[in-house]
Structure 1
Amino acid sequence: MRSNALWLSSPARTVIELASLASLDELVVLIDQLVREPRPELENRWEPFVHLAEWKKMAADFHGRGAKKLRGATELARVGSDSPPETKLRLAIMRAGLPEPDLQIDLPVRGWRRPSADLGYKELLIAVHYDGGSHREREQQQRDNWRDNAFSAEGWRNLHCNSRDLAGGFRDTCARLERLINEQRQRLGAELRRRPA
């Protein structure tokens, strides 16, 4: 890829070049960022850096150092993680033996703006939110309160986590989520469907 007079590595090629250096989780974070749907109003781009199907082919065709790890990370990658902590949270949930969550859940309500959860379980009405540093800002807190109230009004349970949970590997978050899943299964009599990889 060329920028003015310089030749640069593409984002996808850079991740491939990091395959032998990065950990499995670091690669999953990077791949999730490559394949996620951008928010044009914030990023001034309308397409992912690479579509997941195209990325899978690139990873399968790579045979250099770290190729096996890269393919393993590709299997764990998903479209829908908007931030590295969201990816790390999803991986922690799965490693804790909990069902794989849905990503970027939009609540179907009337109005110009739809409340959205980072991840959760539609069948069990559980919304999980990772509150990064920007969530301490007053305006963002107001939007978060509006979102939480919208989910609650529809019978959903909200679970929040933050950088302290991230630093602890989301162990406490996963324990709270497991209790919440069991409570919601009993309350709603619902089971989770198996999600395709």
Structure 2
Amino acid sequence: MRIPRNPGNIVPLTRTKPYVTREQLTRLLDTTKWRGAPLLRRALARARTSSSSRPETLVRLMAVDGGLPEPVLDYDILDENGNFLACADLAYPDLLFAIEYDGAVHRDKDRFVHDIDRTTRIHEAGWTDLHLSAPHVFIDREEGIRRLRAAYSRAKEITGVPFGSA
């Protein structure tokens, strides 16, 4: 269902439409007798079109299941002049708080340096961030949720937004 996009116009798109739409999946589930259809309907209700990966979806669900508001997916962070700085995997824009899932690709030497520069840019623009990786999402989900909640609370303190709002 992901709708392809090109944050910051960095890489040309090879396609611009999703492989399948929510409406197509809904119609398919409404016209089949699959034993797992009720479970798939519940999953479809939680599906979004902006996540770039399965782990990012799981981080979003961890945030929501952990009692936090649903974060914005694939959020473009801009500087004060409207120039593209970065695309956050997940964000709470009102709190200037980004959440990143760092998979194996982030261990590459060039990518590691790119990530440091990117993080510096968003920090200089006033944003805070939290980085999670596979152990926080796939092994110790409770620790991942704890980190999300703690970082969210710190972002609220920094921005002065009362807990429970935003």
Contact kept in structure 2, 1:89 and 1:170, CA below 8 Å: no
Query: In the alignment, does 2:4 pair up with 1:38?
Result: yes
Quote the residue 1:49 is aligned against: 19
Quote the residue 1:142 is aligned against: 113
Shift of 1:43: 6.9
TM-score (norm 1): 0.71
Quote the residue 1:61 is aligned against: 31
Q: Give the match's secondary structure for 2:95.
A: coil
* Cα distance in 1 for residues equivalent to 2:94 and 2:33: 40
TM-score (norm 2): 0.82
Quote the residue 1:75 is aligned against: 45
Aligned residues: 158
* Cα distance in 2 for residues equivalent to 1:57 and 1:150: 44
Change (3 A) 1:101 1:51: same
Quote the residue 1:174 is aligned against: 145
**Structure 2 unmatched ranges of 5 or more:** none
Q: Identity, % of aligned pairs?
A: 32
* Cα distance in 1 for residues equivalent to 2:114 and 2:23: 34
Quote the residue 2:97 is aligned against: 126
Quote the residue 1:86 is aligned against: 56
* Cα distance in 1 for residues equivalent to 2:18 and 2:26: 14
Report the RMSD for the aligned CA atoms in angstroms: 2.3
Change (3 A) 1:104 1:94: same
Matched residue type, 1:158: D
Quote the residue 2:127 is aligned against: 156
Matched residue type, 1:88: L
Aligned with 1:106 (options 73, 76, 80): 76
Change (3 A) 1:61 1:42: farther
Matched residue type, 2:75: I
